[in-house]
A = this chain, B = another copy of it.
Amino acid sequence: MSDVAIGIDVGGTKALALLVARDGRVLGEVNAPTPHDDQLAAGEATTRVLANQVQTLCQSLHLDPASIPIGLGLPGMMRRDGHLAFAPNLQSASGAELGVQLASLLGSSLVVVDNDANCAALAEHEWGAARGVRDFVMVTLGTGIGGGVFIDDRLVRGQSGFAGEIGHMVVVADGAACPCGGRGCWERYASGGGLQRLMLQAAREGRLEELVRARGGAENLRPEDLTESARCGSSGAQALLGEMGWWLALGLSNLSAILDCGHFVIGGGLSSAADLFLPRTREALAQLVEGYRARPTITVATSLFGPRSGAMGATLVAFERLA
């Protein structure tokens, strides 16, 4: 039984690898951009990046990459057998057996995979902002929106392992186009990518003139520019983040209606700016949730591990299935 494991959260834009002890202590961390190289066989470029991360982490503690349990958190629909069936935000790896490829490259038999948001939910439930909470939904705000649904102290997997694809819940019938092929998905309005879209739209409508001028054009705007500008007092930037907060509340409200969920944990990269949109989210919930006053309070917490919760949880999957 291993007392350390590696967890890697493979996102649409970057991969975060952590070396973690069984009690949750983080012993090492490596970041790398996720390659988008469609020339290579699906997933090959990504696999090489991950293998390098594993080797770097192992070197630091003189560990053998072939004998350490490794968990991968992947964005998209993971089958229970570990096959990545569909990943709109990681097109180059969709359908690839990243876990199998990584194991082969490392000469290891200790690689397991799971959905990234499921991993985040497991980490927050074990060590973080949902410790001791039997029913909650983990909502990760990254390139898209990922989800992990806990009911009665257990992660809901669904018939094929695809449960928790909450970002592709349609909230605007026939709305904005989504990389998944659908229209009006929640993540087009309330994720990092959604914020980017709202921002471009606002810039085109002349609502962010100062910021657009400072960045030399609307096409150069990134969500980070908006949050920075909001912190410096820009009312236009603050209003736009509030707008995103409202959209976040809309989806949470839908989840409350369906599951009567009283606790949400907000994670993913964008959660570092939670102070700029969660107040609006909490306020909007009171208007949006059916029979709000007849329910106990609905709590919306930020993830304890922020952008690290996916990688943290991936180690939990590795510990639980391999150690």
Contact of B169 with A172 in the complex, beta carbons under 8 Å: no
Copies of this chain present in the complex amount to 2
Query: A29 on the interface (CB 8 Å rule)?
Result: no
Interface class of chain A by DSSP: loop
Q: Are A296 and B160 in contact (CB under 8 A)?
A: yes
List residues of chain B with CB within 8 A of the CB of A173.
171-172, 175, 189, 247, 250
Residues facing B in A85-99 (CB within 8 A) are: 85-86, 88
Cβ–Cβ contact B258 & A163, under 8 A = yes
Interface string of A67-89 (1 = CB under 8 A from B): 00000000001000000011010
Answer yes or no: A211 CB below 8 A from chain B CBs: no
A307 in the interface, Cβ–Cβ < 8 Å? no
Q: Are A254 and B160 in contact (CB under 8 A)?
A: no
Partner of A162, one of B147, B185, B295: B295
User: In the complex, A115→B95 CA distance in Å?
Assistant: 42
Interface residue total, chain A, C-beta cutoff 8 A: 50
Cβ–Cβ contact A290 & B165, under 8 A: yes
B294 close to A149 (CB less than 8 A): no
A259 contacts chain B at the CB level, 8 A cutoff:
yes
Which of B85, B154, B175 meets A294, CB within 8 Å? B85
Residue of B nearest to A262 (CB): B159
Complex contacts, A164 vs chain B, CB 8 Å: 258, 260
A219 to B291, CA, bound (A): 30
Distance of A296 from chain B, by nearest CB (Å): 6
* Bound Cα distance A163, B256 (Å): 8
Q: Counting CB contacts under 8 A, is A156 at the interface? A: yes
Q: Which residues of B contact A158 (CB under 8 A)?
A: 135, 259-262
**Docked complex Cα distance between A259 and B160 (Å):** 10
Q: Within 8 Å CB of A185, what residues of B? A: 290
User: With A253-B170, A294-B86 in contact, is A261–B135 under 8 Å at CB?
Assistant: no
In whole Å, how far is A78's beta carbon from the nearest beta carbon of chain B?
A: 10
Question: Is A257 an interface residue, CB under 8 A from the partner?
Answer: yes
- Assess whether A151 is interfacial by the CB under 8 Å rule: yes
Min C-beta distance of A181 to chain B, whole Å: 8
B165 touches A260 (CB 8 A): yes
Chain B residue at minimal CB-CB distance from A298: B159
- Which one, B77, B254, B290, contacts A291 given CB within 8 A? B77
Cβ contacts A to B, 10 pairs, < 8 Å:
A86-B291, A135-B158, A152-B154, A165-B260, A168-B257, A169-B169, A172-B173, A180-B291, A181-B290, A185-B290
